[in-house]
Amino acid sequence: MIYSFTLQEVAIVLGIWSVLVHGWSLWQPALCKKWALALPRNYPAGVTLMTAAGLWFCWLIFNADLMDFAPYQNLFLIITVALTAGTIIFVREFLAVRALGALLLLLANVLLDAAFLDNRPSKLVITVLAYVYVICGIVFVAWPYLMRDILEWFYKNESRLRLGVVAGLAFGLLLLGLGIFVY
């Protein structure tokens, strides 16, 4: 295990994050819509998110036990920095979505590490969420235009948007409840 987070910590942080994001969507729907629809093609946000993903992956390479590949650790770090810089420079289209996909893949590792060797059935909430993040991460990296299409679909119908925001808020409260009372 690379990370030392507990299920409780992970559930509370994700719950707070979900409540804040979805609460903001309820409180400032026009501003949230403007921001969300601009995010897929927002290059500065993409640079920030991709830099964060690259730094996180470098940290992961530096701290992971690479066993037989340990002699190549520095090479892996150089390749990661070069690929991150190359992506930022040459893959400008939908960079924020691709970077968000990479971050979701890295976050799934944290969630699965927290759930590892925990025998409570309630850990499945975090485990399933991790695999949802994996699927979304793969889709966002491979087909980034789908995030734009999903956001446009959500924002076309006010009741659909409100239902999605309330569902996200309820899931955040569920995670907070699990983190405080169960884990």
* 80 inside domain: no
Residue with tokens 């037989």: 68
In a domain, 177, yes or no: yes
Residue 2 has a pLDDT of 85
> Is 88 among the domain residues?
no
Domain membership of residue 105 as a residue range: 7-42+95-182
- Domains identified in the chain, total number: 1
Please write the tens of the pLDDT for every residue from 66-122: 899 999 999 999 999 999 999 999 999 999 999 999 999 999 999 999 999 899 999
> Is 89 part of any domain?
no
| Residue 64 domain-assigned (yes or no) | no
Q: Would you state the structure tokens that stand for residue 112, as one six-digit string?
A: 């699965």
Residue 137, domain member (yes or no): yes
DSSP one-letter string for 58-77: HHHHHHS--GGGGGGHHHHH
- Whether the model clears a pTM of 0.85, i.e. scores above it, the answer is yes
